[in-house]
Structure 1
Amino acid sequence: MRPGLHTLVHTCAAVLAAGSLGTTLHHGVEERGTALAFGVLVAVGELTRRNGTRIRQAAPLAAAGSLSYALLGEAGGRPTHHGAAQVVTVVLAASLLGSVPHVGRGHGPVLDPLARRVLTVGFVAVCFQSPYGQGTFDDWSGPAHALLLLALLSLTALCDAVLAAALARSRTGWPFLPMLRDELRAVPGIGAAVVATSAVMALGVAVAGLWALPVLSVPLLLAQLSYRRYAAVRATYRQTIASLARATEVAGYTPAGHAHRVAALSQAVGRDLGLTEPELTVLEYAALMHDIGQLSLVDPVPAGATAGLPVTEQRRIALLGGAVVRQTGVDPRVARIVERQADPYREQPLAARIVRVVNAYEEKSREGGPGGPLTALEELRLATAGEYAPEVVEALARVLSRDTEVVRAYGS
């Protein structure tokens, strides 16, 4: 982890939160009923948070409630007088309160998402509340006012994506641009739902009052429920593929955990080379099932080590594996990667190059004893002239040089 950016972001969020809290305590809370209603909404959104490494927006309802409060200019036809400091204070207090049950289960609050929320809410509140209080937006009514809210929310969503990618880059060391691309991919999905709900909530409360909040929260809650079901289906799908990958281990063709180690390290190398999330998913599935062709062999390969076999035998096993994968109904791209993992690397797609290099590294490091990882990496570098893609081998070396859980699993 590179603490510089993390420390800077967390410090800025802490300074903003402390300043907002002090200002709110000094001047008092304006429109306490409105503040309480939005605080409850944010807290409920935090209670429905879903934790996970691949989740872009873990608490969409809390995010929508926070942003709508920052963009609130009227409540039930009456002007509001809360400022940006009160917005940040209410959102922070409600977020922390809603995180209490998660803390009891050992899940949060996570500092990065909390810091991002404080900064993004503070940003949109300053952009709207201060000019609104000075009468700058008095002439912005009807569609113009709605477009103004959508523009501010869209800009905030983009800034949040950049901040999330930067924090992830600082935390993992992976390239920034692919991570930003993945964050931006989520904006038209759940991000668009949050933006739309935030704008509708702010406009709805301005006209109908606080009773609009529970009504307007229902569509986003339903969308969140549907997303969770989709994620559950995806998780079940991956577990099925992982179970198929274990068939070679159960049959004694490959060592225990080999497929999962290759898959984890392949994903790390893929991230270093800039693959997107969909490409990484295909790569993971192909790495899990890369040895499944060995089930067609009459005599098992010793220790399942295919890297040392003749090229013709490697290709035969790869083609058998691709045929098996096609019968499982998995994405055809996975079968193509499995089939081509033994081809000359200049003719392979990038995912097949990665699987080939990582599989060879795992086998060679396992055979080499305590000094196996370094020896295996050196052997791969010496073989880049003909067998292994040089850019993949160097990416593997960069990944192994980082102190991550994947690397520690290899004893590097």
Structure 2
Amino acid sequence: MTQKQPDSSVPAGPGSGGPEGGALSHQRSGEPLWRTPRPLRALLVGGVGAAALAALVFTAATGFADPFVALAFCLVIAGGELARITLPGHRESAPIALAGAIAYAFLPSLGGEPVQHTVWQVTAVVALGVALGELPHVAVGRSPRLEDVARRVLTALLLAAAFRPLVESLSLTGPSVVVALLMTALVAVAWVLDVAVSAVLRAERLRTRLRVAMRDETLAQVATGGAIASSGVLIALACTVTGLVGLLVFTAPLLVSQVAFRRHSEVRRTYLETVRALSRVTEVGGYVENGHSRRVSQLSHGIACELGLAEAELLELEYAALMHDIGQLSLREPIAGGATVLASPREQRRIAELGSAIIRETGVLDNVAEMVRRQCEPLAGDGDEGVPPLGSRIIKVANAFDDLVGENGDAERRAAVVERLRMDTASEYDPRVVDALASVLAR
């Protein structure tokens, strides 16, 4: 619940206490999290880009082996990249493109005839297909996330580097149990490496803990990763018998799965957009300052990442932070400036309980409603319920900060507000959360 103070003074808090050491580093005094320097991302994109460019130049100079096969796989990869989807967590995925790339890297023969493409050619064909598929997106202003594109090319490069030499040395020309097991083992290792790279990039982007990012990425990619990997292996094995017909036949099931993933993603996105629209009702009605809910949500997200919350918890926290002030709609007259931190404890409790009751009417956001209900409680909690949920404690700190700073607070005022919150860590605010806020602001 939130709003900016017009003057430069910082009101005294409801309690006092000592600070508990910390960091306050994320969002308000520096660049947003997603714009902060990301050297690991730059290293991945630059390295894969250089390898792809070298592969294209080398393959163009030496000539393409089996050019018709290369063209067919390139077009499938391009079509899959064109149909890429955005999954929950802002993850871009191109299942058909990646399955086609895996199949081309693994392809030992086509219809019984050996194929001769090298690691360089696999990298060149995949990179070219990805680039062609992304061109229409770029033309209409939907530029891809370069790290996700680089990961797809990197996966094909690693698989080709591991498998193509074996094709030549062991004369693998047809489907067999050994070939199938080898492909399965390699693609499993590649999936683990891809999840690890994705987790490192996520930890760097969100400034969260690597362990948490690794768990989130594993859970998020286990379904899509299994479908893509199995499809890639099946396409490669089928093409050894049926030729390019296998490429079309075994791409169809993956297309159906992609449609299902897309629908799930769209439902979740629509849900979040609805919550965001609902959170603006208090702003449109003049109960809080414009942008307050968004700022509290962003700041809460940064604090939660600093504290290592999992992705599912981050989503619930985002919902709760966006709607934390919705109980103000029950007020006959808005609070001055919308700053609930300046309201009496009784009034704060009433607003929180009414907001929680509204959210519970959805029937599916009980955890969010509970976070909103307990956001104004002191650090030790009220009554027998004990300490409020961590999400409630995060929202309380983020809301108080934005209420006292608002949108245009200068560095001196931000520092003063942080110190004011530190003074209340013995009774009102969780010292760990205040320290995390400091780390967010410092960045």
TM (normalized to structure 2)?
0.84
Residue 367 to residue 137, structure 1, CA distance change in 2 (3 Å): closer
Aligned to 1:93: 128
1:281 aligns with 2:321: no
Asked if the contact 2:292/2:406 (under 8 Å) is kept, the reply is: no
**C-alpha deviation, 1:87, in angstroms:** 0.3
For residues 291-370 of structure 1, the aligned pairs below 5 Å read 291-346=325-380, 347-366=387-406, 370=410
Confirm or deny: 8 A CA contact 1:29 1:86 kept in the other structure: yes
Letter in 2 for 1:47: L
More RCO (CA 8 Å, sep 6+): 2
The 1-side partners of 2:180 and 2:331 are apart by 65
In structure 2, give the amino acid aligned to 1:87.
V
Q: Find the aligned partners of 2:244 and 2:394 in 1 and give their Cα distance.
A: 55
Cα distance in 1, alignment partners of residues 142 and 267 from structure 2: 23
Question: Which residue type is aligned with residue 28 of structure 1?
Answer: G
Verify the 8 A CA contact 1:245 1:292 in the aligned structure 2: yes
Greater mean deviation of Cα atoms: 92-101 or 289-298: 289-298
Q: In structure 2, what residue type is equivalent to 1:386?
A: S
| Count of paired positions | 401
- The 1:244–1:15 alpha-carbon spacing in structure 2 relative to 1, beyond 3 Å, is closer
Tell me the CA shift for residue 316 of structure 1: 2.5
Equivalent position of 1:108 in the other structure:
143
Tell me the percent identity: 41
Are residues 1:76 and 2:111 paired?
A: yes
Q: Which deviates the most, 49-58 or 220-229?
A: 49-58
Structure 1 moving runs of 4+ over 4 Å? none
State the match for 2:426 in structure 1: 385
Partners of 1:305 and 1:82 in 2: how far apart?
A: 66
Q: Secondary structure at the match of 2:102?
A: helix
* Code of the aligned partner of 2:69: T
- 1:56–1:186 Cα contact (<8 Å) kept: no
TM-superposed CA distance for 1:337, in Å, is 0.5
TM-score, normalised relative to structure 1: 0.90
Bigger mean CA deviation after superposition, 1-10 or 264-273: 1-10
The 8 Å contact of residues 57 and 191 in structure 1, kept in 2 or not, is answered as no
Match for 1:13 among 35, 48, 59?
A: 48
2:423 maps to a residue whose letter is L
Query: What corresponds to 2:203 in structure 1?
Result: 169
**What is the CA–CA distance in structure 2 between the aligned matches of 1:164 and 1:49, rounded to whole Å?**
17
The two structures, once aligned, show a CA RMSD in angstroms of: 2.2
Q: Are the counterparts in 1 of residues 206 and 305 from structure 2 also a CA contact under 8 Å? A: no
The one of 239, 242, 255 equivalent to 2:273 is 239
Residue 51 of structure 1: how far off its partner (Å): 5.1
Contact 2:74 2:126 in 1 (8 A): yes
Q: Are 1:30 and 2:65 matched, yes or no?
A: yes
Quickly say closer, same or farther: Cα 1:315–1:162, change in 2 above 3 A.
same
Quote how far apart the aligned CAs of 1:369 are.
5.0
Report the secondary structure of 1:307's partner residue: helix
Aligned equivalents of 1:155, 1:78: Cα separation in 2? 28
- Shift of the 210–369 alpha-carbon distance from structure 1 to 2, 3 Å rule, reads closer
CA contact (8 A) 2:82 2:134 kept: yes
- 1:214 corresponds in structure 2 to 248
Q: 2:79 aligns to what SS in structure 1? A: helix
1:409 aligned residue: none
